[in-house]
Structure 1
């Protein structure tokens, strides 16, 4: 399974999950944008960085690394990336780092040279095998699903879906979590088609229901507006109304296009060219 990409998608879709894993309030994620950051001078890429928005009460930057294969020099690279980032961004107020391992045996032997970092309150190590199964958290459940063996994956996925459906149908997060559960199963069973997996999980009929379609579209609208706000600033009410009238396909297209926006005029031009009927 391509763990880097699935974790990136999870944190991009629902950044609150990181803070759930750390036993903190998921509401903390409202002040952050999750992205990857490239340090071009030496071709380093930090796959997961939670960057605080300018008006966030806390300006702490969170570095996140998912490590599913044993690498004896992992910490050398990880801390090098962090300190290079800090060198290139001297305006950084504070930082925290999180390393996610599937199990303790994957972690490199304790590197004495990094004891100051690893014993500090700035570095957090999460071992998915140690997660408490009794914790009522969809985020923790997603992490457990990723490391579940093949024999238990479908059963765990169905259990999670049964929890999500009654709890989240009035919340845009409902559709997003369902999509993440399905995506994890798709990654774990690459020999099966998405249609086969939807059938196994009992999603085929559910996805046709009005409540699912509305929740999914509302979630897309919320995500696009949030990304636009961070990309080009506050969106005028009349532009928000136009975005809310877009079809699902148009919303997904806007989500791709906005990555190239640099000013509000780019959004205005896009909407003029892709005006909803």
Structure 2
């Protein structure tokens, strides 16, 4: 669900972009809290409720097919009707990753005489040109062309780079890097997007926390074989080392292999301290001096 939540954050921060895409006009959207439903939602952390005039828009982002989706849509619809009987409810499930599963074509729940229908959007079937028109949808545009994503990823990177607001650039670049990870390796993403100064972005930090929680963060697979807790710690350290080395190379250029290996072996706490300290480094000598002082403490 970590990738799904990146989309949730995009909806929260760019409601107008999603209104133009899904509703066809820049209708003001007000976010509703799941706690406003009359009973406890099944998955409150994944529920996105937006209110627009006489319409309630319920969005569900799914990385992969989920057999419980039809039931969940029917259940939420009844709860929303109970809470907002005069409001129209529109439910849309948006699948992120291309699949051959028939589940992504399910648009109804039926049990006996009970029948409920909802909408489904498969991102790989959407027009990437349409998605690229709106800032909040730029990270999704990459997933609209999963079979040949590089040209679109480059186009998205250029569009983000042209934005004037540095905070907006940072968040959208982080979201794009994360979602592109559904089909690309981190090395491929870095090659296309260039230097990713996203470590401090809100989206990246939220995604990372979710990924750690679910055991999905890159670098955890090997550790998970030795036990979840050890794997989480190892994955976190490996990711911190990779990001810190990347920042150091952008700051100082190529690093000697023995120095790189030393940094890879640093504990997570020291890597985080190094990531902050390197902003003041001017030469390789500054890095060497910092490592000496750090090891002596």
TM class by shorter chain equals 0.5 to 0.7
Q: Corresponding residue for 1:16?
A: 16
> Which SS does the other structure have where 1:45 is aligned?
coil
Cα separation, 2, equivalents of 1:43 and 1:170: 37
Shift in CA distance, 100/109, structure 1 to aligned 2, threshold 3 Å = closer
Q: Corresponding residue for 1:33?
A: 31
Q: Corresponding residue for 1:202?
A: 194
CA contact (8 A) 2:142 2:153 kept: yes
CA contact (8 A) 2:16 2:29 kept: no
Cα separation, 2, equivalents of 1:110 and 1:183: 28
Deviation at 1:5, TM superposition (A): 1.7
Shift in CA distance, 200/142, structure 1 to aligned 2, threshold 3 Å = closer
What whole-Å deviation, never above 9, does each CA across 1:194-232 have from its counterpart, x for those lacking one?
A: xx966752245xx69xxxxxxx9xxxxxxxxxxxxxxxx
Deviation at 1:10, TM superposition (A): 1.9
Q: Corresponding residue for 2:249?
A: none
Is 1:101 paired with 2:100?
no
CA contact (8 A) 1:73 1:108 kept: no
Unaligned runs of 5+ in 2: 202-297
CA contact (8 A) 1:37 1:48 kept: no
Deviation at 1:90, TM superposition (A): 4.2
Q: Corresponding residue for 1:159?
A: 155
Q: Corresponding residue for 1:254?
A: none
Is 1:48 paired with 2:47?
yes
Deviation at 1:174, TM superposition (A): 4.3
Quote the RMSD (CA, aligned, Å): 4.2
> Which SS does the other structure have where 2:91 is aligned?
strand
CA contact (8 A) 2:62 2:93 kept: yes
Shift in CA distance, 174/11, structure 1 to aligned 2, threshold 3 Å = same
Give the total of aligned pairs.
193
Deviation at 1:146, TM superposition (A): 3.5
Cα separation, 1, equivalents of 2:7 and 2:165: 25
Q: Corresponding residue for 1:130?
A: 125
Cα separation, 2, equivalents of 1:188 and 1:38: 36
CA contact (8 A) 2:56 2:90 kept: yes
> Which SS does the other structure have where 2:129 is aligned?
coil
